[in-house]
Structure 1
Amino acid sequence: MKPIQEIYSQLTGKKKIVITMHQKPDADAMGSSLGLYHFLKQLGHEVTVISPTNWARWLDWMEGSKEVLDYELHKTESDKKLTEAEWLFCLDHNHFSRTKNMAKKLAEMACVKILIDHHQEPDEASFDYGESNTGKSSTCEMVYDFIVNSGHRDKINIFAAECLYAGVVADTGSFRFSSTHASVHHMVAYLKEIGLEHTKVHEALYDNFLENRLRFLGHVLSNRLEVNYQLNTAMMWVSKQETLKFDIKTGDTEGLVNYPLSIQGIKLVGLVIDRDEERKWSFRSKGNFDCNTFARKYFNGGGHFNAAGGRDTASLQETIKKFSEAIQENSSLLQ
C-alpha cells in the first residue's frame, strides 16, 4: 500500500468514484463517507456512496444520506456502480470482510483502491494507496486531514463540515476519550469558523430517538446489568425477544455499552445482543485493558485499544459463559 499523499496530484479531472464503509455504519463511518462525498463532488467527480447494509435512521439528517445506496436493497445498481468505478475509497474499515456481502465484489474489483482508516491491523495488501493511523480520533478527522493536506481546504462546505464533525463527536465520546488530541480541536475550530452550528449536530445525534429506546435502555440497565466487582467488570445482555418487544432498530443500542463505565472501579464492559444469525459483542474499557486483543482472541473481532467489537455463533447463554471464563483468564489484567 503506497502513501495516500501520492494521489493528491490525481484528484483533479473527472473520475467515477465509489465510497464504501463498514456494515451497520455508525456516525463516523457515515460522516466520513459523506464528508468525502461532498468534497469530491466539488472537484467534479461522479461519486456514489454505498453502505453494505442499512443504517440508523438518526443518521438521515446528514446531507447526502438520501443518495446513499443500501447494498442489500439495491444490489444490482450498486454492483453496476462498483463495476464502473475507477477509484474505490474504503473508509472506517480495513478488511473487506467488514462489508459483509460486498466483500467478494470489492476483492475482485480491478480499480484503484484507497484506504482511510484508524483501526488496528489493516489488510494493506488489498489496497493500492492509503493511510492507516490508530492514533487518530476518527476516520472523519483523517478525511479532514486528507482534504487539507491535499491543498483543498476551501472545498469543505457546510454539509461536509457537519458530517465530519458528527463522526469526530461520536468517536471521541464528545471529546472525552484520550484520542482527542490538539489536532481535533484545531479541526473543530476551523469548522466553526466556516459556519458550523455544533448544537444542531449534537441534537441530531443524541436527541433524535423514539420513546421506546429510552424505555429499552431503562429495562436493560435495571434487569440485564451484571457487575463483578472482584474483577472490575460489567456485562449486559439483550435477547432477541427483548429487541422485538421494544421494537429496537439499527442504531438504537448505540452508546448503551458505555453506561457501566461510569461505575467506580469498572475497567471492562461487555454488551452482547442476540441477533438472528449471531451474537454481537461490544467491549469498552478504561486504562490499560486492551479490548482489541481481547475481542480478537475470544470473539472473532477487533477494533481499538479501549473500544472493540466481536461476534459469536454460539447461543446467547453459551457466549455469556464464554465471556465469564474469558475475564477469569484475564483477571490479573483487571485488578
Structure 2
Amino acid sequence: MNVYQQIEAEILAASSIVITSHKSADGDSVGCSLGLLYFIEKLGKKAVICHPDASPDFLYWLDTSCIVLMSDKPEKVTEAFQKADLLFCLDYNSTDRVGPDMQNLLESATCQKIMIDHHLHPQDFPSIVVSETSASSTSQLIVELIEQSGHGELLDEKIGTPLYLGILTDTGSFRFSSVQPRTHEILAKLLAAGVQHHLVHEMLNDNNTASRLRLQGYAMAEKLEIMEDYQVSVISLTKEELAKYNYKKGDTDSLANLALSIKGMKAAIVFTERDGIMKISFRSKGKENPVNVLASDHFNGGGHANAAGGMSELSVNETLAKIKDLIPTYFSIQ
C-alpha cells in the first residue's frame, strides 16, 4: 500500500474530516483545499474546509462559500476541530503558518493528521506526511493522491478546475523551474477531465480593478528602486500609500514578479506596511540566486529558492535600509 492509498483508507474510515491551509490563502492553498474537498465528496464522505482568513478578491470566482474562516466564525471552526477525527494540513509545513488562533486548535487536536505539502523542512507533527519539495504545487500532489489511490476516473471539471488554478498560480503560469515533465502530464489529465483552461486564465488575469492597476502603476513609477550593481529591484509601500489606492488583499501580489521581469534583474523584493508589520515578498531567477535563505536568515520567513516570504517589525524606512544593506551579502556584484 502506497502512502496515497493509505490516505484514501483514512478518508474512508473517518467520520469527521477537516481540511486546513495556511494564513493569507493563495491560489494553491485555495485550489488544493477545494480539489481535495470535491474528491472526498466523490468518495461518498463529507468534509469541511477551515482557513485562517479570507482569500484575495481575485479568487472569488471560485465557489469559496464552503470555506469557513477562523477570522469570521471562530466558534464554528473550533467546533469542527473538536469533532474532527481526520485533519488535512495542506500547503504548509509548520503549525505557525495557520496563525496563532488556529495553531492552538491544530496543536491540541488529538486526531489523525495528514500533511500534503511541497515546502522545505516540514515539521513532524502530522501522523502521515507527503512532502514532495520537487512538486510544482500542493495542488499537483492532490492530483497524485487521486491518481495513485486508484481513483483517476473521478477527476472531472469540478475537481480539476481549482487544482489547475493552484498549479497555474504556484508556477507563475508555468514559468518557474518547479515545472517538470510530470507537471505537464498532470495538466494534460486535467484538460482531458474537462477543465476549461482558457476560462481559468481569463478569470484569474482579466478581473483587475481600476484601483489595483493604479496602485501597481504608482508602485512601478514612483517606488521602484533598482540596485544596478547587484541587479536587484526593491519596492516599498506604506499603509498611507496603500490606503490612497483603496488597497484590497491581493492587489500587490503580482508586483514582485513585475519588478523581476525588468531586463537583467536577478531578484525583486517588495514589502508593504500592513497590520503593523512589513510583509515582504522575495522573487528571483536561477539556482544561483536563492532568496529563501535571505528570508529565513533575517526576516522570519522562508519558502522556495526563487519565491519566498518574510516579515519585519521595523519601520518602512528601517526595513528598506536593512534590505539594501543585506543585498551585497546575498547577491554578487556585476
TM-score > 0.5, shorter chain as reference? yes
Partner of 1:160, secondary structure, is helix
**1:1-335 correspondence runs (5 A):** 3=3, 5-13=5-13, 15-63=15-63, 65-100=64-99, 101-123=101-123, 125-287=124-286, 288-332=288-332, 335=334
Q: Distance in 1 between matches of 2:295 and 2:320?
A: 14
Q: Distance in 2 between matches of 1:289 and 1:312?
A: 21
Partner of 1:187, secondary structure, is helix
Q: Which amino acid in 1 is paired with 2:83?
A: E
Q: Distance in 2 between matches of 1:252 and 1:49?
A: 24
Q: Distance in 1 between matches of 2:297 and 2:255?
A: 23
Q: Distance in 1 between matches of 2:103 and 2:178?
A: 29
| 8 Å Cα contact 2:156-2:194 kept in structure 1 | no
Give the 3 Å change call, closer, same or farther, for CA 183–57 of structure 1 in structure 2: same
| 8 Å Cα contact 2:14-2:86 kept in structure 1 | no
Give the 3 Å change call, closer, same or farther, for CA 70–271 of structure 1 in structure 2: same
Q: Which amino acid in 2 is paired with 1:162?
A: T
Q: Which amino acid in 1 is paired with 2:155?
A: I
Task: Kindly provide the CA deviation profile for residues 281-332 of structure 1, in whole angstroms up to 9, marking residues without a partner as x.
Answer: 0000111111111100010100001000000111111111110111122243
Q: Which deviates the most, 147-156 or 31-40?
A: 147-156
Task: Kindly provide the CA deviation profile for residues 206-260 of structure 1, in whole angstroms up to 9, marking residues without a partner as x.
Answer: 1112111011110100001000110111100111001111111111111111012
Q: Which amino acid in 2 is paired with 1:215?
A: R
Q: Which amino acid in 2 is paired with 1:304?
A: H
- Aligned-pair CA distance for 1:46: 2.0
Q: Which amino acid in 2 is paired with 1:186?
A: E
Percentage of pairs with the same residue = 36
Partner of 1:66, secondary structure, is coil
| 8 Å Cα contact 1:13-1:45 kept in structure 2 | no
Give the 3 Å change call, closer, same or farther, for CA 53–8 of structure 1 in structure 2: same
Q: Distance in 1 between matches of 2:48 and 2:106?
A: 14
- Aligned-pair CA distance for 1:5: 4.8
Question: Can you give the 5+ residue segments of structure 1 that lack an aligned partner in the other structure?
Answer: none
Q: Distance in 2 between matches of 1:301 and 1:194?
A: 37
Misfit runs of 4+, over 4 Å: 2-5
| 8 Å Cα contact 1:113-1:129 kept in structure 2 | yes
Q: Which amino acid in 1 is paired with 2:262?
A: I
Count of aligned pairs: 331
| 8 Å Cα contact 1:29-1:167 kept in structure 2 | yes
Partner of 2:12, secondary structure, is coil
Task: Kindly provide the CA deviation profile for residues 39-60 of structure 1, in whole angstroms up to 9, marking residues without a partner as x.
Answer: 0011122200011012112212
RMSD: 1.4
- Aligned-pair CA distance for 1:12: 2.4
Q: Distance in 2 between matches of 1:105 and 1:324?
A: 39
Partner of 1:24, secondary structure, is coil
- Aligned-pair CA distance for 1:193: 1.2
| 8 Å Cα contact 2:4-2:148 kept in structure 1 | no
Q: Distance in 2 between matches of 1:71 and 1:205?
A: 25
So what's the TM-score if we normalise by structure 2? 0.96
